[in-house]
Structure 1
Amino acid sequence: MSFGQGGPQWGPGDNGGAPDWAALAEASEARARKKRWMMIGGAVVATLAVGSVVAWGIVSANKDSEAGNKPADQLPSTADIPSEGRTPGPSFAETTPPPPLDPNDFIDSAAKDKAPLGADTLFPGRTLTFGGNTYKKGATARTADCASVGTKGLSGVLRKNGCTQVIRATYYKDSSAVTIGVAVFDTKAAATRAKEQYDFDGAVVSLPGSGVPTFCRTTVCRQTANSVGRYAYFTNGGLTNGRDASKKDATVFALGDDLQEFTFQQIKRRGEAQASAAATAG
């Protein structure tokens, strides 16, 4: 069959050259089946894709949930969370209290040592009980002529170091008596020099009276020297019966030592009282 150039042409074939309709129908059916499988496959792929998105979404949601359930030590502190209605309290600047006043400052210099001073303030009462012993107080005296109450070398030591006054008191027990002389200077340095320069050449003049006879003028007696602050103090002790004192006379030694220690404590208390009064006054 020929329709001319350009039309369908069949070459030699079955059915005398007629089209094979059965083959064409089978080919058409095959194409239809292939199309249906392609559509089903696309749907499955789409379903798997959707499933993946949902799965990842669940994982993501779980991670978010885990992030919201932090352990207690990772949660913000309640101290960091401002509470409603909380008003900060008043704040005060830190202050450092001034250091306590030093009592030595008051007894080291006449510029600050202004409390009343006399025989009655240093040696009050009629007796002295100290170290388990009790002694009676004899005469007391006070003079600005320091050289007059020291013999030999002590007189010169008091004068050249600027002694301003000497306060004396005598205490006694039985036949033992001791006179203590407290020499007052303007500064601690002057009092210290006087103590160090005194080489026991001479002594403070013993003070009789008020029941105590003259003693330690021509007999052997015991002398001591010490200082604290602007005060130097010297003792002269012995027997009132006219005998020389010796190391066997325990009362002479005990009375001299107790009187020295008592005088030291009295001067220290003087500094403490003035420091306390100054601190109270502000």
Structure 2
Amino acid sequence: MPQHPVPPAPPAPWASGPGRAASQAASQTPDWNALADTTAARGRRRKWVLIGGGALATVAVAGTVAALVVGSHKSDKSASGLPSPQKLPSSPASPEPSFSQVAPPPPPNPRDFIASADKDKAPLSTKTLFPHSKPSLDKRKYDRIDTATTEDCASATQGGLGSVLADNGCRKVLRATYTRDGVAVTVGVAVFDTKAAADKAKEQSTGNIASLSGDGPSFCRNTACRLTANAEGRYAYFTVAGFLNGKAVPDDDKEALQAGRDVAGYTFRRIMARANAQASASVATPTPGKKEA
């Protein structure tokens, strides 16, 4: 740094005379060199202040950018990283896809298959209609002792029932006899072409079905017995119940009455089993002439 001459000290205030006047005159003349040096020094200090301030500003800006970059990295990390399973929000159950469904056709009515001979094509005999030799009917056990089939419907009847069956187009009569504790029941199933004919035969019924005794003594011949008449589909069925010893059934009897009801109920179930079997077979077996999809 260059050396400048030091200005002379001002005269003491108590000085007087020419010296003081000369001194005052000298002090009133500016020291241009000193002023120039002072100005230059101030300029240098201002320059350093500006440079220092700019550097600090640059450092502050750099720090801010670095903070933003770090913050950005943290944000990106949290956005790209999956949270732990416990923090995953529970998503609402997505709706099941809906498909247009064609409603399946209703199952066939079993009674339709026994309503007419056109649809009732299953084998029919005493073996298929009365297959049990010792049926348990409502927890009461019976023995089957005889069966018979005849196409002459009137020959399987007594009284006016033969004419009723013939007049309504009876095709054949299937009979079976069951016994229990000295009571015997014969059931006869008359077969018609249509349900209407069977219903009519039931409504017009009179007389009774002829009993089958097998190898034992005849029963319910020219004596009072219990009778029932019913119809299901194209079948009309009749029972006659009495005592094996040929004794007449009294009005207050309960044994023959119960036996007749048991066998009639069993016959109804056997006819419906026939209907159900044919209905099930029609669903399992495709219709001839139609190709399966």
TM-score category (smaller protein): 0.5 to 0.7
Paired residue total: 247
Deviation at 1:97, TM superposition (A): 9.3
Listed one character per residue, the Cα deviations across residues 216-258 of structure 1 (whole Å, up to 9, x for unaligned) are 3432221112233321111122245554211555542343233
Structure 1: how far apart are the matches of 2:127 and 2:83? Answer: 80
Structure 2: how far apart are the matches of 1:210 and 1:34? Answer: 144
Deviation at 1:111, TM superposition (A): 1.7
Deviates more, 1:186-195 or 1:46-55: 186-195
Deviation at 1:275, TM superposition (A): 4.9
Structure 1: how far apart are the matches of 2:178 and 2:144? Answer: 6
The answer as to 2:220 corresponding to 1:216 is: yes
The residue type paired with residue 142 of structure 1 is T
Q: Report the counterpart of residue 90 of structure 1 in structure 2.
A: none
Listed one character per residue, the Cα deviations across residues 192-214 of structure 1 (whole Å, up to 9, x for unaligned) are 4433x14xx62224235643555
Structure 2: how far apart are the matches of 1:60 and 1:240? Answer: 108
The residue type paired with residue 223 of structure 1 is L
Structure 1: how far apart are the matches of 2:108 and 2:269? Answer: 18
The residue type paired with residue 122 of structure 2 is A
Structure 2: how far apart are the matches of 1:179 and 1:136? Answer: 10
The residue type paired with residue 30 of structure 1 is R
Report which of the two structures shows the higher radius of gyration computed on alpha carbons: 2
The answer as to 2:210 corresponding to 1:206 is: yes
Normalising to structure 1: TM-score of the pair?
0.67
Q: Report the counterpart of residue 122 of structure 1 in structure 2.
A: 129
Q: Report the counterpart of residue 235 of structure 1 in structure 2.
A: 239
What pairs up with 1:38-57 in 2 under 5 angstroms? Answer: 38-57=50-69
The residue type paired with residue 31 of structure 2 is D
The residue type paired with residue 184 of structure 1 is V
Q: Report the counterpart of residue 9 of structure 1 in structure 2.
A: none
Match of 1:169 among 170, 176, 189: 176
What pairs up with 1:170-185 in 2 under 5 angstroms? Answer: 170-172=177-179, 176-185=183-192
Q: 1:62 to 1:280 in 2, by over 3 A?
A: closer
User: Alignment identity in percent?
Assistant: 39
Structure 2: how far apart are the matches of 1:49 and 1:138? Answer: 117
Structure 1: how far apart are the matches of 2:198 and 2:276? Answer: 19
Match of 2:49 among 22, 37, 43: 37
Structure 2: how far apart are the matches of 1:172 and 1:18? Answer: 164
The residue type paired with residue 60 of structure 1 is S
Deviates more, 1:174-183 or 1:39-48: 174-183
CA contact (8 A) 1:130 1:262 kept: no
SS at match of 2:237: strand
Match of 1:187 among 155, 179, 194: 194
Structure 2: how far apart are the matches of 1:116 and 1:55? Answer: 96
Q: 1:157 to 1:245 in 2, by over 3 A?
A: same
Listed one character per residue, the Cα deviations across residues 22-77 of structure 1 (whole Å, up to 9, x for unaligned) are 333323332332233222222222222222211221111221122222314588xx
The residue type paired with residue 183 of structure 1 is A
The residue type paired with residue 203 of structure 1 is G
Structure 1: how far apart are the matches of 2:274 and 2:250? Answer: 34
Q: 1:95 to 1:230 in 2, by over 3 A?
A: same
Deviation at 1:121, TM superposition (A): 3.8
Structure 2: how far apart are the matches of 1:60 and 1:67? Answer: 10
CA contact (8 A) 1:107 1:229 kept: yes
CA contact (8 A) 2:113 2:119 kept: yes
CA contact (8 A) 1:140 1:167 kept: yes
What pairs up with 1:62-211 in 2 under 5 angstroms? Answer: 62-73=74-85, 103-123=110-130, 128-131=134-137, 132-135=140-143, 137-138=145-146, 140-146=148-154, 149=157, 151-152=159-160, 154-155=161-162, 157-172=164-179, 176-195=183-202, 197-198=203-204, 202-207=206-211, 210-211=214-215
The residue type paired with residue 78 of structure 2 is E
Deviation at 1:142, TM superposition (A): 1.1
